[in-house]
Copies of this chain bind each other. A is one copy, B any other.
Amino acid sequence: MGTRHMSQTERAVTELKRKIMSNELAPGSNHLEGELAALLGLSRTPVREAMLMLEAHGLVEVRPRHGMRVLPISAADMEEIYQILTELESLAAYDLAARRPAIEELAPMRQAVDDMEVALGSDDRVAWAEADNHFHEALVDLAGNRRLKSIVSTYSDQAHRARMITLHMRPKPSKSNEDHRALLKAIEAGDAETARQIHRNHRLRAKGLMLDLLRKHGFFHV
């Protein structure tokens, strides 16, 4: 891996983000600049910069004298996030369909759907989730709005922990795969409005499902 030319700040961001996403740094926990610097084997300066970046990405909150606090994600937070993702990804679906992409451009999306199909067959939820991520990522990628892509990526990261929790509680995600195939078809047909509707409904259903699970299982925060 090309960690050779990474700045210390980047290293800190990457490493801290990994630790947060994997719950190695527990939601709600506090971490002082000095601690983290020692933990990562760096001086406070790059750690401090990394903390500010993570704060900008909504993963932590920096409170003077208390270090950074890993933000818990409540059901209410997830609702905010899913609403935003719903609107923006639906827009991406619309735009992508509207610009009538060449068939081969859609290869990543097709690949992702195929992978999801396989994962579904062997009930490998982790593989399925990964392919699902690829699908959504390819969608906003191909839509071509760089800012939209950046926002979606930020909030997908925030949602990551919650998705991992509900992954094993939800029913087999076969309906999702149908949605994805249908979306792909609408995009291929250049039917922008249909693409938007399909994806919007897909996201709305996913949102409802996730929130139900989070609330039912008493996760007021993650």
Chain A residues within 8 Å of B, Cβ to Cβ = 45, 48-49, 52-53, 56, 58, 80-81, 83-84, 87-88, 90-91, 95, 145-148, 151, 155
CB contacts (< 8 Å) of A52 on chain B: these are: 49, 52-53
**A56:B58 contact, CB within 8 angstroms:** no
**B147:A80 contact, CB within 8 angstroms:** yes
**B155:A80 contact, CB within 8 angstroms:** no
**B155:A83 contact, CB within 8 angstroms:** no
Closest B residue, CB atoms, query A91? B87
Report the Cα distance A84→B154, complex, angstroms.
15
Distance (whole angstroms) from the CB of A86 to the closest CB of chain B: 8
A81 touches which of B45, B53, B84, B147 (Cβ 8 Å)? B147
CB contacts (< 8 Å) of A81 on chain B: these are: 147
**A148:B91 contact, CB within 8 angstroms:** no
Give me the 6 closest cross-chain CB pairs, A-B, nearest first: A56-B56, A87-B87, A80-B147, A80-B145, A87-B91, A84-B148
Report the Cα distance A83→B87, complex, angstroms.
11
Report the Cα distance A48→B97, complex, angstroms.
42
Closest B residue, CB atoms, query A148? B84
Report the Cα distance A50→B171, complex, angstroms.
46
With A49-B49, A151-B151 known as contacts, the answer to whether A145 contacts B56 (CB < 8 A) is: no
CB contacts (< 8 Å) of A83 on chain B: these are: 91, 95, 145, 148
Report the Cα distance A49→B87, complex, angstroms.
32
Closest B residue, CB atoms, query A58? B147
